[in-house]
Homo-oligomer: A and B are copies of this chain.
Amino acid sequence: MGKQARTAFSAQDMNGLAKAVARPMPAGSPCGACPVRHLTVCAVLDPEELLQLTAIVSNVELSAGQPLFDEGEPAVHVFNVTAGAIRVYKLLPDGRRQITGFLFAGDFLGLAVTDVYAYGAEAVIPAVLCRFPRRKLEGLMARFPKMESRLLGMASNELVIAQEQMLLLGRKNAKEKVVSFLLMLSRREVQRGQPGDPVAVPITRADIGDYLGLTTETVSRTFTRLKNSGLISMQPGGRVRLVDREALNDLAEGF
């Protein structure tokens, strides 16, 4: 594994992409009307409690590529994705990057034990998030233990996903990695109530590579081979059809 120096993506180099600004929650859309509430922490709160949450929340909108925060930055907020997609990543000093996760509607980020973020976060495609001041949310959690309990459940779940990803990074080959990735995207689309079969892949080859521990070339070649062997087929709009789901499942699990 050589050191690939990376040119793109350091926080503000291209397009002069500045940090996001937050605005107060639009009056017409309190948390009670949130379309992705059932997916996230807020699902466990009753209307009364939701009002208190609404009181501390603000909205963040990001355009594609725009950073939400950088690794090492003071961790003053936590976030909840309500639309779009976010990538979370860590960097080595020479520019090598590992994307540790893609976050979609309903996903939570920014939990930190230290006072700084341990990773950076950027929008993959235009995204909208709820932003909570960490201190205030902690205060709320102290009052609503079921919220903390829910968060613990979500964190435990993320831990399981992280272990799955370690298995992928450490022990799967390029084909198994790419197929696992496609199936993961598909599963999460279903979770969000979308079809999941022609699965949307709004993520560049470079990002996929940095997520799977591969280069863009290897990702590209692997896609080509999967197409040629008839396991997947490309569709307009960056969608991928999972032609032989059985075979793909087996491939991903290493059979």
Contact = CB atoms under 8 A, between A and B. Distances in A.
Interface of A: 1-3, 88, 90, 92-94, 96-98, 100, 111-114, 118-119, 141-142, 145, 148-149, 151-153, 155-160, 162-167, 169-174, 210, 212-213, 253-255
A148 B158 contact: no
Given A152-B155, A156-B113, A166 B100 contact: yes
Contacts of A159: 111, 155, 158-159, 162
B142 A148 contact: no
B93 A255 contact: yes
A210 to B, nearest CB: 8
**This chain: how many copies in the complex?**
2
Contacts of A93: 253-255
Most buried by B among A97, A100, A141: A100
Contacts of A155: 152, 155-156, 159
A246 B122 CA distance: 32
Contact of A170 (B152, B162, B169): B169
In terms of DSSP, what is the predominant structure of the interface of chain A? helix
Given A113-B156, A151-B152, A255-B93, A2 B173 contact: yes
Nearest to A92: B254
Contacts of A94: 254-255
Contact of A111 (B156, B167, B171, B174): B156
Contacts of A98: 163, 166-167, 170-171
Contacts of A172: 1, 92
27 contacts: A90-B163, A90-B166, A90-B167, A92-B172, A92-B253, A93-B255, A94-B254, A94-B255, A96-B171, A98-B167, A98-B170, A111-B156, A114-B160, A118-B160, A118-B164, A119-B163, A141-B149, A142-B149, A145-B148, A148-B148, A148-B152, A152-B155, A155-B159, A162-B162, A165-B166, A170-B213, A171-B213
A234 B94 CA distance: 30
Contacts of A170: 98, 169, 210, 212-213
Given A90-B164, A93-B255, A98-B163, 7 more contacts: A90-B163, A92-B172, A98-B167, A113-B157, A113-B160, A159-B162, A169-B213
